Structure 1
Amino acid sequence: MTSDTSHNSSGQPLSHSEHEKRLLERDAARLFMRRYEQETGQPMRHIWHNEPAKPDISCYFEDHQLDLEIAHLYATAEEARHIRAPDRTDRLWFYLAELAIIDDPCEQLKMALLTLLNKKAEKHYDSDRVWLVIRNASVLWNRAQILRIQQAFDKQNHPFEQIWIIPDFDGEEPLIRVA
């Protein structure tokens, strides 16, 4: 376990892509922890990264360790590559936002979320308590659409104590608990 996003627990440097992944995970975990505390009054503290056998991030919640598996929800592979760019204001970003106005993508959202949940549920987590935190990284989907399809999670089998969605990339909207 380490709080360093550039090195693994044995001090070896991470690849550029693994470093970027850890930065996104840490950012999502911080957004989630901050929103959770604002909304419930219950603090989560001391964030650190884990090695692959454990969930992505660990913290302390109610004086006990809680592990967070972090996932980012993208509409397309191109969007996933784009979100990592430091400047997210180019033409592609505006194009994707325009697509969101034209189509009602609720079924695509439902399929994407269930696919993501099934993928994460297949993993084995060496942990007693794991929450799945999904950060919506797509401009195609919004909080209202997520609320409309959240009942799809009720019947899913998964190893997570709770499942939460950060409905917007910047973490400004209220969290959604889906399971």
Structure 2
Amino acid sequence: MVRPEACPALVLNADYRPLSYYPLSIWSWQDAIKAVFLDRVNIVSSYDKTVRSPSFEMRLPSVVSLKTYVQPSRNPAFTRFNVFLRDRFTCQYCGSRDDLTFDHLIPRSKGGQTTWENVVTACSPCNLRKSDLLPRDAGMWPHQPPFSPSIHDLHQNGRLFPPNYLHESWMDYLYWDTELEP
């Protein structure tokens, strides 16, 4: 019996690029096999492990590609997670990676909006220190000005935070457009 969390399959779009990098687009082995039987994916690579029934045996897919191209979203959703990802999970004031929240550059009490251009990742101590002050009044400026990221920006940052599990068969599809060492 194969454990449900074992042997996930990397899911590629029809152009052989991952559907997403962060979170990495993976399916459980059960979902991958179901998609194979429904003729929705091609098996690109397989694990050495097999699943069996009385009349059937199949190696578990490690990489599958969709048969139909899925158009990626043009604009990422404005979520707390995506703000953290844009800012590389780093406080924009002190560089800490612990106890993260977000801060409004122009505080809401002073008319600031909750938008890509006004929100940055901050650790709780910096957020408390800045309080409801403007950056110039607090003497606290973000390392990079906040901006509305593209899907590409988030994918690039997502590559910096690989998941705990990366099977060797996935490497050619995750980092195929990075510069090679001579």
TM-score band (shorter)? under 0.3
Flag the structure with larger Rg.
Answer: 2
Q: Which structure dedicates a bigger proportion of its chain to helix? A: 1
TM-score (norm 1): 0.24
TM-score (norm 2): 0.24
